[in-house]
Amino acid sequence: MKKLCLLFIGLGLILSCGGETVTDIYQSLPDRIQEWIATGEDARYDRATLFDYMNGGAEVYLAFDFRDVFVRRYQRGEGEELSLDIYDMGSPAEAFGVFSCDREDEEAGLGQGSEYGFGLLRFWKGRHFVSIMAGAEGEDVDRAVLELGRAVDRALVEEGPEPEILKMLPQTGLRPDRTSFFHSNVNLNNRFFIAAENILKLDRETDCIFAEYGPPDEEPVNLLIVRYQDAALAQNAHRSFLESYMPESAGTGMAQTEDGRWTLARVTGSVVSLVFGAPDEGSARGKQSEIQFEF
């Protein structure tokens, strides 16, 4: 019986990534990238042990449906290192989410969305989010990081859709590379600080989109859409936001901030939508009116 149980556990690990198996993915990764050679033992960390791997930053991943992370190190000479992390985020939507919350650099042409800058490559594909970081700089380092990224991209065969809730976003003036999907207050405040307290009542069951609008060289108009489990939760969150963030709105949901720009908060069924930084009241109402509540 014990052997049979172990067999089923092993099969579970093999099948855990759908059509592509864990064994297929990790065994297909190269042991050498140019002059960098895999060193030490590969490691895996799950939700219970992630803090052992990263003392700071684990909360960002745990706020999503993070399953585990595969870690491999490559070394050149005595000290130059490439760090490869492959995160199983549970679904393509979650993988897109963790990638989308921290975009700053140029597209690298890998996976279903990527960026590379200053020795750090990030991309998502299917249910996986990948991070490759170099401990040195130079054109040869850039080539090695991108070559390793292409190898990981080939190993991750399956793709998947972006979160469906993105269809709610107005498209006029949207900055796609500044659009984020997430669930919790820690992700929101890393992206756009509203309050230290969780005044929007966010948790792992809420789906959130944060998007920026306008020309890249201008101050953006920001739109936050939060979908709750039901209308009662949305009403409660909307009331909490008004009381904490804009009590001067007197229940209208509209207020002018100290910088002269406008904030508008509305609740529609199970959705709370908020515009921040609009240049005038009409712009705030206009952006709210463009939200696609039916798609």
CATH number (domain holding residue 105): 3.40.1000
Cα 21 from Cα 222, distance rounded (Å): 40
- Domain limit, last residue, from 155, 181, 202: 155
Q: Give me the pLDDT at residue 276, please.
A: 98
118 plus 169 within the same structural domain: no
127 plus 16 within the same structural domain: yes
Residue-wise pLDDT for 71-101, tens only, equals: 999 999 877 899 999 999 999 999 999 999 9
Whether residue 111 is contained in a domain is answered as yes
136 plus 177 within the same structural domain: no
Which residue segment(s) compose the domain that 42 sits in? 2-155
Segment holding 143, helix H or strand E: helix 139-155
Looking at the structure of the chain, the number of domains it has is 2
Whether residue 295 is contained in a domain is answered as no
Q: pTM to 2 decimals?
A: 0.89
146 plus 207 within the same structural domain: no
172 plus 227 within the same structural domain: yes
150 plus 210 within the same structural domain: no
Is residue 270 within 8 Å of 234, Cβ to Cβ? yes
Whether residue 140 is contained in a domain is answered as yes
The distance between the two most distant Cα atoms of the chain, rounded to a whole number of Å, is: 71
Question: What is the residue-averaged pLDDT of the chain?
Answer: 91
Q: Give me the pLDDT at residue 12, please.
A: 39
Whether residue 294 is contained in a domain is answered as no
Q: What is the mean pLDDT of the segment spanning 37-50?
A: 95
Whether residue 91 is contained in a domain is answered as yes
